[in-house]
Structure 1
Amino acid sequence: MRETNKVFHLAIPCKELEETKDFYEKLGCKLARQYDDRVTFNFFGDQVVCHLNPEGIDLEPKMYPRHYGVTFTNRSEFDQLLQYATENNLPFFKKPMVRFEGKREEHVTFFLIDPSNNLLEFKYYHDVEMVY
């Protein structure tokens, strides 16, 4: 089980640091560090590092197999982020939708796309036991 003294780390490519910084700060992520070749964020309690690598950008992003994000266990927090993303005009890759409707693993989800075509998924399962 995850303990509070552990932080998940994810490194992803970005094409330009300032637009990347602007996107993640608009998403509500706190800038931790910025260097000439990367920016590091507190991404909902975990660490996301965006490394400057314009050649590594996925020109035609697809939801599968590569995306990352947050699974909420509190519906109101999910709804707050969705409202925040909408109010801040963050770009949606997929608008809010229900997946696996009528099944135990039913959940609501939406995808955002950052300036470097990295896909971010945010979701909430009605049955908390289906999170894992």
Structure 2
Amino acid sequence: MSRIAQFHLAFPVRDLDEARRFYGGILGCPLGRSDATYQDFDFFGHHLVAHISAEGKPLATGRFDGEAVPVPHFGMNLDRASWEALARRLKAANVRFHEEPHLRLKGKPGQHVTMFLFDPSGNALEFKSFDDPEQTFIP
């Protein structure tokens, strides 16, 4: 299976300026193309597009490693130093976590640190860092 070098995700937001402050300001993602209806972001080298939407999106929960996780969600697998720097940045910005930064799958293959949060429009984000990135896709 070949790896994709960049992902693209378009998602609804309730307010583009709010999205720009969160993704551009708090998360530090450079702004790309935009108009009155959308804003592109360089999301850690990947293509993220926020589209203005008057409609909300219901969230459900799934379970992973004994914990409820928001579905849908998106995010990034980061190296540990980047993950720790982002965790510090989010805490300094007083971002409210859905799941505080913590270790998941302790002592098992695929062990990683993770954190979940919601952007201002209610989109669920997960950021993780695997102890061994080669174990990202193990069953």
* Pairwise TM-score range, normalised by the shorter structure: 0.7 to 0.9
For the pair 1:67 / 2:58, whether they are aligned, the reply is no
RMSD of aligned Cα (Å): 1.7
| Structure 2 residue aligned with 1:112 | 117
Q: How many angstroms does 1:105 deviate by?
A: 1.4
For the pair 1:89 / 2:94, whether they are aligned, the reply is yes
For 2:97 and 2:54, locate their aligned partners in 1 and report how far apart those are by CA, in whole Å: 21
Which structure 1 residue ranges, 5 or more long, are not aligned?
none
For the pair 1:56 / 2:56, whether they are aligned, the reply is yes
Runs of 4+ displaced beyond 4 Å: none
Q: With structure 2 as the length reference, what TM-score do the two structures score?
A: 0.83
For 1:102 and 1:2, locate their aligned partners in 2 and report how far apart those are by CA, in whole Å: 26
Q: How many angstroms does 1:78 deviate by?
A: 1.0
Q: With structure 1 as the length reference, what TM-score do the two structures score?
A: 0.87
For 2:125 and 2:31, locate their aligned partners in 1 and report how far apart those are by CA, in whole Å: 17
Give SS of 1:20's match: helix
Q: How many angstroms does 1:54 deviate by?
A: 2.4
Q: Report if the CA contact (8 A) 1:104-1:130 is conserved.
A: yes
Once the two structures are aligned, what percentage of the paired residues are identical? 38
Structure with greater contact order relative to length (CA < 8 Å, sep ≥ 6) = 1
- Of Structure 1 and Structure 2, the greater strand share is in 2
TM-aligned CA distance change 1:61 to 1:24, over 3 Å: farther
Which structure 2 residue ranges, 5 or more long, are not aligned?
62-68
For 1:51 and 1:122, locate their aligned partners in 2 and report how far apart those are by CA, in whole Å: 22
Q: How many angstroms does 1:61 deviate by?
A: 5.6
Amino acid at match of 1:14: V
Amino acid at match of 2:57: I
Q: How many angstroms does 1:34 deviate by?
A: 2.1
Q: Count residues in correspondence.
A: 128
Q: Report if the CA contact (8 A) 1:7-1:46 is conserved.
A: yes
Give SS of 1:22's match: helix
Q: Report if the CA contact (8 A) 1:15-1:57 is conserved.
A: no
Alignment of 1:1-132 (within 5 A): 1-2=2-3, 6-25=5-24, 26-58=26-58, 60=59, 62=61, 63-72=69-78, 74-132=79-137
Q: Report if the CA contact (8 A) 2:116-2:124 is conserved.
A: yes
